[in-house]
Every structure is written in structure tokens, then in C-alpha cells.
Amino acid sequence: MIFDDIIVGTAGHIDHGKSSLVRALTGTDPDRLPEEKARGITLVLGFASRTLPSGRTAAFVDVPGHEALVRTMVSGATGFDTVVLVVAADDGVMPQTREHLAICRLLGVPSCIVALTKIDAVDADLVALAREDAASLCASEGLPDAPIVPVSSVTGEGLDALLSAIDRTASARRKRLIDAPARLPIDRSFLVKGHGLVVTGTLAAGKLAVGDAVEVLPHATGRAAARVRTLEVHGRATELVRAGSRVAVQASGLERDAAPAGSWLVAAGALVGTRAIDGRVRWLASCRRPLGRRGKMLLHVGTAAVPATVTLLDREQLEPGEEGLARVTTETEVVVRPGERGVLRADAAVAKAGATAAGFEIVRAEVEPYRARKDAAARLLRCLGASGVARAEAEASFAGARGTSRAELERRMPDGERNAVAGAIGEGRILEVGGTLVVARSTIDEATHRLSAWLDRALADEDVARIGIPMAEARPRAGRGAHTGVVDRAIAAALAKGALVLEDGRIRRKGSGPSGARIDLIAEAIAEVLSGAGLAPPRVAELPGLIAAKVASVVPRDVTAALALLDKQGRASRVSSELWFDRAAVEALKGRVLAHFERARELDAQTFKELTGQSRKYAIPLAEHLDQARVTVRSGDVRRRWGA
């Protein structure tokens, strides 16, 4: 069976009859604790359900009305589809009435119904005054058409009308995303003898099925992994629940304290906790003073209440009634998604209506550190104005030239827009590099521009232009920390412009290098010198002088190009940065060394010197060269044949 609940919350001032009303509507007492029954007030969230006239099921969440328990009230209001604002006819609107309604509006609860209770205890004039008071409050919160239904939990008057009004709100329910990863803010956690730990909450997104792998976040020792063993909705077992259902989950593998109220049960591996969130703050008009650039507050999100620091990004202060962009940094991790709403509360010196000071709409979660507030504000504004592939492209660009994994990028997208990443890749706005890594095309374009500009400046020097720039020197210029795949694409794009060429590992301008005929001439002169020198060649710096009689005005970069040509032709071998040898001489030495190993297992330094016929000046670099060529391998003070 698939349950399709309407989540109905109560709200209102203490002792206005919220629990009595739920009991009258459902036949279930939402006050579970003995101390609640003794004191006559709700201390924790209470739950009950009943079938509406349409056949739908209404899941009622009864919240505390006491000022000291607003934190509990907020955790319950997170998943409301509609709120029944309870106003007692003998009292009218009271402080917690105002704060509770403000909280519901800040959390985006779609609709409100006023239940005017205790009409059996007052005359018609007081009922009329209370109705007028409630209507004025609803109008001030942008709900001028909220129905007001007089009821009595004692006589039952008005209860049918209230149920019908609740039923009519079904069309204004919250949008629940079934295809998103499962996310359940936990509002209760308790042990059931013989079954283990059970958690309850309103499934905010996705689906849960028996057998699903889940985990609890955040967790003191990392991820608390588990598997769904049983699911219950309104006391009935089910195999599957979807977003919007009030559900009790018994998951195997959870320890007693692994899933406290305020944590999240999520699909395994799908989500992560974060301590940095960017979004839009709405500072209530009822606040006593502006919100400064930076302040300490309490963030209520999901069922959690977490100390946090609020930093304004686009201004120095926020006046009462204004909205602004802010970063909220929490002391402990929270599990949030773009589009979700939270409440910020402060002390009574700041906020008149209890301690509720602001609403917070989450735009970006898992945000990166910012260099300047204006940078973070610019990214926020870009995301506020983008959705789908444009939002995916924006998020990819924020990762820069380091790139990000496709899985992480999808996680940064709002629920319901994860497929936009694939769409952006299909349109070429995001490129895949290095396997699972993705980078915005604009990032590669920027890296190409940066690299091209640097090459233009470097190759303006005539000497540099003649010999070119080594690839190893050019690569870092594509961007600090740039992924290899990004650099490769940037270099390829720079070369594709047609003005540059890559030859022998060097980038140069087309036609700017030394002519082929001149390099051939220099190479032949150097080859003659190396051949005559055998295993005692001159240093590279000496070569221009030694061939000056055959080729005039040879510069070091010409020598480098000529040696590279000889290497490519198999006529010279680079043994060190300062020494190049005639390759035939090196191959002959290699043959003598291998012949030695036919007679002996080891080759000591003195014997090697005798094989070369040279001093340590040449013997040492030649020995190291043979090691690198995998002819020999060093073992202490001797060498052995490679692989022997």
C-alpha cells in the first residue's frame, strides 16, 4: 500500500486547546508523556491520524505552545502541508500565536486554517472579537483568505467543517520530490523491545523501501550505516513509503544513540553533511534592531537546532523587513538541500515575537570558502537566476580548473534537477575530463585564454621564440591547481588557433624557430665532435665554441634543438644536463657491461671505470645512465644486471 498523507500541523499559544482539538478530531491523545497529562500541556511532538471526507489520510502533528518549547514546535513545522492555527475565543491572538504563524510562513507552509476554539465557553461577542483578531493576523502574514472555523472540542461543534476545510487544502500541498534521494529528518528516536531502534519523521524527499541501505547523518564517528527492516505508517506495516508520509522506520545496525532527534536518515551514500550554507535571509519586520554584518544565532532546519554564525554577503546590515544574502556557518553538520527553508532565532533583545528573527532560504549547500564576501554573493545571485543546465554549468564553474566529480556536482543541484548535469554535458556546457571528473567549458576557455596570453608574452622574446617553450614550463600557466585533463584541453585549444606548433616537446610560433637547414648543419657539426670524443665528450656549454669554425653565431638554444634532433635520429644520448654522448659509444659500453655479467654476478666501481676507460667525471654519470636504461641496478657499492 502507498500512503498519500496530508501533513497537518497545529500551532498556537499555550493552553488554547491544540491537543484537545486533535483528540476530538482523531480520537487519539497526542500527549504521550505522563508529565504532559499531569500538567495539561504538550512538551514534545504528538502524532495522530484520521481519514478525511475525500478518503485521504490526514497525519496530525501536535506541537507545544509554550514559549520555552518553540524549538520543538519548529522541528515539527518543517514538514507541514497545512497548519491549523488554534486561537482560543476567550483569549484571541497571543504572543505564541504570532510567533508560530510567523515560523510557518518562514518555513513555506503552503496554507493556513484558523480553528477558533472554546466557543462553548464564551458568548457570541467574544467569538466575533476573536475572529476579527485572527483575520487581522492572517492578513498581516499574507493570508487574507485563510478560512476561520469556530469549533468546540467539548461539544463537537464545527469539527466536520474544520475537516472539510483541511480536505480542501490538498491542492495546496507542498511539492514532494519522489525521485530525489531519500531524506528523513528524525523527530523521534526510541527503542522497541524485540525490534531495536525506531526513528520517526515526515519523509521530506524520495522513497524508502524495506531492504534499502540507509545511514544516519551527521554521526560522531562517521556514517552510521543501516538497512531498513520494517516501515510503518499510522500503525500499519508497509513495504514502501514516499515523500510526504509520516513514517516509523526500524533499521538494523543502528545503535541506541546513533539516531537522535535532529539528525537525518538518508539513502546510503547519496547525501553528505555540511557546515557552510549560502542563501537568502528575510529579517522580520518585528525585529527590534537591524541584523549586523555578522551575528550568532540558532538555525532551525529539518528537525535540528544548531548554533550558527550568520554573515551578510551583500551589505553591512539588514533592516527589519528586508531581505539579503548571507552565509550561515553551523557549529555541527546539517543535511540540507537547495530550496529548503529554515528559521533563525535570536534572543528577545533582538526579536519581539519570542526569539524568531528571520527566515532562511537555502540556495547553495556544501559551499566553498570565499576570498571576499562579494564573490560569494555573486555566486549566490547567479544560482538564484538559474535552473536546470544553467544551474549545473554555474555549479561546475565554481569548482574551477580543479574540477569536481560528477556525483558531487549532482549532489549540489536542487532536488529534481540532478538530471540537468547530464543535460549540460550533452550540450557541451560541461566537459568530462579524467574519468569521472567534470569541468565547465567556460573554465577551460578561461584556462586557454590565460595560457595563450602567457605564451604570447613569453614568445615575444626572439631567443625564446627560436627554441620554443618546454611543455613542462607551459602547463602550470593554465591555472593554479588545474587538473591535468583541463591543462591538456587548454594546450590543445591554444594550439588549435593555428599560430603555435608543438615540436619535440616545445611550443613555438609557426615559422619562428631556427630553419631546418641551419639546425641540420649544427647537428652534423656536433655529431662529429661527439663521435670523436667517444666516452669523454665536452660539456654542452662548450659545443658552440667547438663548432664555430663550421657554423657561426650558434646560441645555446640552437645547440639544444640540434641535440634534440640527434637524439631523435638515434645518434646522440643525453646522459646528464651537461653531457651528451655519441650513442654508438654508449651502445658499445653497454655491450662490454653485459659481457662482464656473463663472467661475473657483480660489477664494482673500479671495474666499471676500466670498462669505460675514463675517470669518475664520466664514469659516474654513465653508470647512472645505465641504471636508468635498466641495463644495471645498483645494490650498495656494486651493480648487478637488471632483472637478475
Distance from C-alpha of 217 to C-alpha of 269, rounded to nearest angstrom: 10
| Residues forming beta bridges with residue 509, ordered by sequence position | 500
Overall fold of domain 516-644: Arc Repressor Mutant, subunit A (1.10.10)
What sections of 283-387 are H helices per DSSP? Answer: 373-384
CATH of domain 183-267: 2.40.30.10
- C-alpha span between 627 and 629 (Å, rounded): 5
pLDDT for 537 beyond 90 = yes
Find the range with the poorest average confidence among 327-331, 381-385, 513-517: 513-517
Residues 389-415 have a mean pLDDT of 90
Tell me where in the chain the CATH 1.10.10.10 domain(s) lie: 516-644
> Is 274-378 in CATH node 2.40.30.10?
yes
C-alpha 62/C-alpha 301 separation (Å) is: 18
Asked if the model's pLDDT at residue 1 lies above 70, the reply is: no
- The CATH H-level (homologous superfamily) assignment of domain 5-172 is P-loop containing nucleotide triphosphate hydrolases (3.40.50.300)
Which residues lie closer than 8 Å to 175 by C-beta, 6 or more apart?
Answer: none
pLDDT reported for residue 483: 85
pLDDT in tens, 556-593: 878 888 898 899 889 999 998 899 999 999 999 999 99
Identify whether the C-beta of residue 404 lies closer than 8 Å to the C-beta of residue 435: no
User: For residue 308, which of 273, 344, 340, 279 has the smallest C-alpha distance?
Assistant: 344
As annotated, the residues of the chain forming the CATH 3.40.50.300 domain(s) are 5-172
Q: What are the pLDDT digits (tens) for 422-479?
A: 999 999 999 988 777 899 999 999 988 888 888 888 877 766 766 678 888 888 888 7
Give percent of the chain with pLDDT exceeding 90.
Answer: 39
Average pLDDT of every residue of the chain: 85
DSSP assignment, residue 289? S
Cβ-count burial of 415 within 10 angstroms (0-12 exposed, 13-18 middle, 19+ buried)?
buried
Q: Which part of the chain has CATH 2.40.30.10?
A: 183-267, 274-378
Identify the residue whose cell numbers are 484558523: 114
pLDDT of residue 64: 64
Output the CA–CA distances (angstroms, integers) from residue 110 to 45, 243, 384, 587, 602, in the order listed.
21, 16, 21, 84, 85
pLDDT tens track for 285-305: 888 889 999 999 999 998 888
